[in-house]
Amino acid sequence: MVLLDVSVLNVALPRIAEDFHARMSDLQWILNAYTLTMVTLLVLAGRIGDMVRRDRYFILGMGSFVLGSFLCAQSWSISALIAFRIFQAIGGAILSANTLAIATELFPPGQRGTVMGLNAILVASSFALGPIIGGWLTTHFSWHWVFYINVPVGIASIALAFMLLPPLKPKERVPMDLAGTILLAIGLGSLTLGIIKGQDWGWYNQKTLACFAIAVPYLIAFAIREINYEYPILDLNLFKIRNFTVCVSGTAIIFLGISSSLFVVPYFLQGLKGLSAEEAGYWMIAIPIMNTFVAPIAGRLSDRINPKYMMSLGPILFALGMYNMIDVDVSTKYWEFFFRLIPMGIGMGLLTSPAFNVAMSSVPQAKAGMANGTLRSMNTLAQAMGVAVGGVLVTHNMKNYLPGYETLVPDPGTMSMLVSLAKFNPLPLIGMVEGFVDSMHFVFSTMMWLPVISSLIIAVFLRGEEHLKR
């Protein structure tokens, strides 16, 4: 639910804009407020999980998320919706920063791989299933149901947590690092804001540069604080644990590659091919289908054979899937598109579940929440960066076709209109349509090297035998 709530909402934004007569900047903040809150709070939420009963903390997070979802559906204005999205994201951060930690605590080494595989299915599925679910709910009910759907699932989760989760006693009782929390929140918040708004503001705009100028000293101050404080919210010694650092780096790089490349696909499917958001979701369903088959098997095998081999192969297969997309055009049929995406789904399954398993198994259990929050925070930040990088690559390449092209990528509806007009042969519009297809190919051909880098990092630095010994 926490991950789906980003992609599900994208589909509902036009209806929300219609109901509230909202501006584009308002709609962007419905998404950005959620992402900013999540990134800012994930490390803190994970740290708190190490200091309290994690079963009750999970229930608190789920209750907050459900209440936030209900309030979002009841919103009477854009401002109220943005405020409730922030409240919803607080619960989402608690859940995201503790699910892997709960799995680590409940399952001993040697039995965690399968659990991480099940978790990886849900992570990967959120990319493609969001538009399908969001499109269906918005078409057959209303945009409010994008949020209402969380309520029964959340209530069921709370009931099951009360019945099934054993008491998970706190691992540490230490003072909260308030100063470190503030430094991290300002640093990460400014960095994320600069990344997600840089495309709109312009990368050399004063506001964008100010965000980065604020982020750097605050993050440096945070690092100095954590090194010297007795009870840090993020123990930087975690990054001395080789397997943890390799897994965080490897997954962050591939999440950056995933979001930067898959960012352009909905524009192609909805804008140039004229599909609805729901139909576009079905076109991308090969990724979650293949991941569903592969992730649990890969997770289980990661406790029995050296995980380095699967984790190195996964990004290479994902790069192969990106290479398959280099010559996709408007005439590409469904099944051809489906088979081109298959290596991406397999690659994600081979990497994510073993990586989550190895990362969480390599850290002391007393700091599992801290590690979980750090892992999720880095991946979420990488996804935000990926969207920004994908947008930069598209607009940069479009200038080869349309000199003076601005930094904004047209929304799918505008692109669909341009495609229709291009049939009447006005040359600038034909140039824009051809330019976008070529720019999409450019994104895939450029970003396909990121998974290769991820594979090399894992192959060279991961100590798979150490994980098996644990």
Query: How is the chain split into domains, by residue range?
Result: 4-165+229-469, 180-228
User: How big is the CA angle at 247 (ends 241 and 251), to the nearest 5 degrees?
Assistant: 150
Two tokens at 295? 């992730």
Two tokens at 87? 């409240």
Measured between its terminal Cα atoms, the distance across the chain in Å is: 32
Radius of gyration, alpha carbons of the chain: 22
Residues 92 and 377: beta-carbon distance below 8 Å: no
Query: Within 10 Å of residue 284's Cβ, how many Cβ atoms?
Result: 23
Two tokens at 81? 């919706």
Give dist(CA 64, CA 93) in Å, integer.
10
Give dist(CA 465, CA 96) in Å, integer.
29
Alpha helices in 202-264 (DSSP H): 206-228, 242-262
Give dist(CA 152, CA 117) in Å, integer.
25
Two tokens at 453? 């880098």
Length reported for the chain: 470
User: How big is the CA angle at 35 (ends 405 and 159), to the nearest 5 degrees?
Assistant: 145
pLDDT in the model for residue 231 = 84
Classify 166 as helix, strand or coil: coil
The residue with tokens 């607080």 is 90
pLDDT in the model for residue 60 = 95
Phi, psi (degrees; rounded to nearest 5) at 394: -65, -50
The residue with tokens 């803190």 is 44
* Amino acid making up residue 59: I
pLDDT 10s digits, 208-240: 999 999 999 999 999 999 888 888 888 888 899
pLDDT in the model for residue 405 = 59
pLDDT in the model for residue 439 = 84
Task: Name every residue whose Cβ is closer than 8 Å to that of residue 205 and which is 6 or more positions away in sequence.
Answer: 198
Query: Within 10 Å of residue 342's Cβ, how many Cβ atoms?
Result: 17
Instruction: Please tell me the pTM assigned to this model.
Output: 0.84
Residues of the chain with confidence (pLDDT) below 70: 24-25, 127-128, 401-432
pLDDT in the model for residue 317 = 95
pLDDT in the model for residue 461 = 93
Residues 375 and 100: beta-carbon distance below 8 Å: yes
Q: Which residues of 12-40 are buried (b: 16+ CB within 10 A; e: fewer)?
A: bbbebbeebebeeebbebbbbbbbbbbbb
Two tokens at 253? 């790089």
The residue with tokens 């960066």 is 385
pLDDT 10s digits, 49-105: 888 899 999 999 999 999 999 999 999 888 899 999 999 999 999 999 998 899 888
Task: Name every residue whose Cβ is closer than 8 Å to that of residue 460 and which is 6 or more positions away in sequence.
Answer: none
Task: Name every residue whose Cβ is closer than 8 Å to that of residue 462 and which is 6 or more positions away in sequence.
Answer: 242, 243, 246, 247, 250, 307, 308, 311, 312, 358
* Amino acid making up residue 32: N
CATH (residue range 4-165+229-469) = 1.20.1250.20
Residues 46 and 374: beta-carbon distance below 8 Å: yes
pLDDT in the model for residue 319 = 94
Give dist(CA 350, CA 344) in Å, integer.
10
